[in-house]
Structure 1
Amino acid sequence: MTPIISVKDVRRSYGRGQNRFEALKGVSFDIFEGESVAIVGKSGSGKSTLMHVLALLDAPTSGTVELEGVDTRELRGRRLNKTRNKTFGFVFQQFFLTANASVLENVLLPMKIAGVGRIERRRRALAALEQLELADKAKNKAVNLSGGQKQRTVIARALVNDPRIIFADEPTGNLDSHTGAVVEDILFSLNRETGITLIVVTHDEELAARCDRRILIRDGLLVDESAAVAA
């Protein structure tokens, strides 16, 4: 069975000479389709750098990231952008919504980039908002939403291109505990019910424990890889 993502001796450094900093120091692991995987570690451990490399938002200095057996170094320009836009959905702590655009306009954005027709864009966006119980907020400006509604909007936006993988970077970091639990339930329901691979970057051990597997990064190294054990 081919992993959906295979990471082989990935290193990522920044700067040169005495100012050179190694954020990743030779990381290797596989992720299989339908898994939920937590990448955990303290601030500065390299976990966010690793997520950016996995999501093809950054390229490794050396080593390889394979996507279903294809070396992603072969992906360039338009092909890279198309692969990233179609294969991945993103849920970030900071939301990254356009504040004065409507909820519907925010959710439509990835489909505009993908070249989906106007009627189909609207149909898919409204379906995603219905799924996230936000259909009644479609015309509201994003700036007027609560934190939980913003994060559900972000999840709807992540879903509209029918991604194979969702990357969630501290998805509950800006939410209170109750709202955070609701958002977690949505993400894990999507993972279980639709088979979307879920990769969560977090320092929250309780969130990590809900995943099938936990990858611990410390000082740019993978120091532990194990099945998560829910409390």
Structure 2
Amino acid sequence: MTTPILSARDVRKSYGRGANKFDALKGVSLDIREGESIAIIGKSGSGKSTLMHVLALLDQPTSGTVELAGHDTRSLTGTALNRTRNKTFGFVFQQFFLTANASVLENVMLPLKIAGVGRSERKRRALAALEQLELADKAKNKAVNLSGGQKQRSVIARALVNTPRVIFADEPTGNLDTATGAVVEDILFDLNREHGITLIIVTHDEELAARCDRRVHIRDGLIVDVVEAATATPATATAEERAA
């Protein structure tokens, strides 16, 4: 059997201590196959964002293990952890996190700069990513002057520039109108389908989640249900087809 790209085993995450202790995750186990699309669904406070942060190696679990392609990530610290995260993962967040007064190109080049890639190669790869997202004509524009949809496409370009194996998308359409959100959804699922990038979406949007291969429902820090694609809308359905 193929080794999962990510595997969580009895992951627990607590904040605070004593009377103020809060258990955000209470023993979560989950395998994520390379190349699949998966939605982690739950209400605010359910633990879905905490689970994403732990899977993405942005936060350490209080106990339990997270394996990346079969390797225990507890051995990763400091520079090795940052390098692994930067090389393996791309991130698309609801809040964009673009540097407002920097150019779109500079924003997209940032992961490559962190990775130590030379400037000429950074520029080449960033422009290629922007071309893929049909934003090459905005490369010199300041991020602050973009529309919401253009900002989110810039974020996706930034997520792609290091050719990641996994993209984490946290409420990726939450700040967008319906039409623009549908375009962003289609871009993410095209990347999953055509390039084999594992797509992990954290959302409370059931319609968005239904496009994924699997839907993982989390409540009060526990996985309560997993729904396979056989009972979900196929990921190949476009936004227009779903609206028909």
Q: Normalized against structure 2, the TM-score is what?
A: 0.94
Residue identity in the other structure for 1:11: R
Whether 1:125 aligns to 2:130 is no
Amino acid at match of 2:79: R
What's the counterpart of residue 17 of structure 1? 18
Task: State the 1:96 CA deviation.
Answer: 0.1
One-letter amino acid matched to 2:183: V
2:198 corresponds in structure 1 to 197
Query: What CA distance in whole angstroms lies between the structure 2 residues aligned with 1:125 and 1:5?
Result: 27
Q: 1:37 maps to which residue?
A: 38
Query: 1:152 Cα shift?
Result: 0.1
Structure 1 partner of 2:101: 100
Report the secondary structure of 1:110's partner residue: helix
Q: Name the residue aligned to 2:53.
A: 52
- The answer to whether residue 198 in structure 2 is matched with residue 188 in structure 1 is no
Give every structure 1 segment of 4 or more consecutive aligned residues whose post-TM-superposition deviation is greater than 4 Å.
none
Partner of 1:160 in structure 2? 161
* Offset of residue 67 of structure 1: 0.3
Secondary structure of the corresponding residue to residue 56 of structure 1 = coil
Q: Please name the residue that 1:149 is paired with.
A: 150
Specify the code of the residue in structure 2 equivalent to 1:175: L
When the two chains are superposed, the root-mean-square deviation of aligned CA atoms in Å is 0.6
Between the two proteins, what is the percent identity of the paired residues? 82
Q: Encode CA deviations 1:134-182: one digit per residue, 9 max, x unaligned.
A: 0000000000000000000000000000000000000000000000000
Q: What corresponds to 1:220 in structure 2?
A: 221
Tell me the secondary structure at the aligned position of residue 24 of structure 2. Answer: strand
Question: Quick one: which amino acid aligns to residue 139 of structure 2?
Answer: A
What is the match of residue 81 of structure 1? 82
How many Å apart are 1:7 and its aligned residue?
Answer: 0.6
Please tell me the residue identity of whatever aligns with 2:95: Q
Question: Aligned partners of 1:207, 1:227: CA distance in 2, in Å?
Answer: 14
Q: How far apart are the structure 1 equivalents of 2:228 and 2:151?
A: 31
Instruction: Write the distance in 2 (CA, Å) between the matches of 1:119 and 1:178.
Output: 36
Structure 1 residues 157-215: Cα deviation after superposition (integer angstroms, max 9, x where no partner): 00000000000000000000000000000000000000000000000000000000000
The number of residue pairs the alignment matches comes to 231
Q: CA deviation at 1:5?
A: 0.4
For 2:49 and 2:215, the matched residues in 1 are separated by 15
SS at match of 1:23: strand
Is 1:211 aligned with 2:212? yes
Residue type at the aligned position of 1:207: L
Amino acid at match of 1:164: R
Task: Compute the displacement of 1:225 (Å).
Answer: 1.0
Deviation per residue, 1:116-147 (Å, 9 max, x gap): 11111000000000000000000000000000
Structure 1 residue 29: deviation in Å?
A: 1.1
Measure, in 1, the Cα distance between the counterparts of 2:228 and 2:181: 23
- Correspondence for 2:111: 110
SS in structure 2 at match of 1:86? helix
Report the Cα distance in structure 2 between the residues aligned to 1:120 and 1:17, rounded to whole angstroms: 51
Structure 2's unaligned 5+ residue stretches are 234-241
Q: Match for 1:221: what amino acid?
A: L
Gaps of 5+ in 1: none
> Structure 1 residue 226: deviation in Å?
1.6
Write the distance in 1 (CA, Å) between the matches of 2:103 and 2:30.
Answer: 40
The residue matched to 1:183 in structure 2 has which SS? helix
Distance in 1, matches of 2:123 and 2:69, equals: 31
Aligned residue number for residue 66 of structure 2: 65
2: CA distance, partners of 1:64 / 1:38: 21
Give the Cα separation in 2 of the matches to 1:11 and 1:225.
19
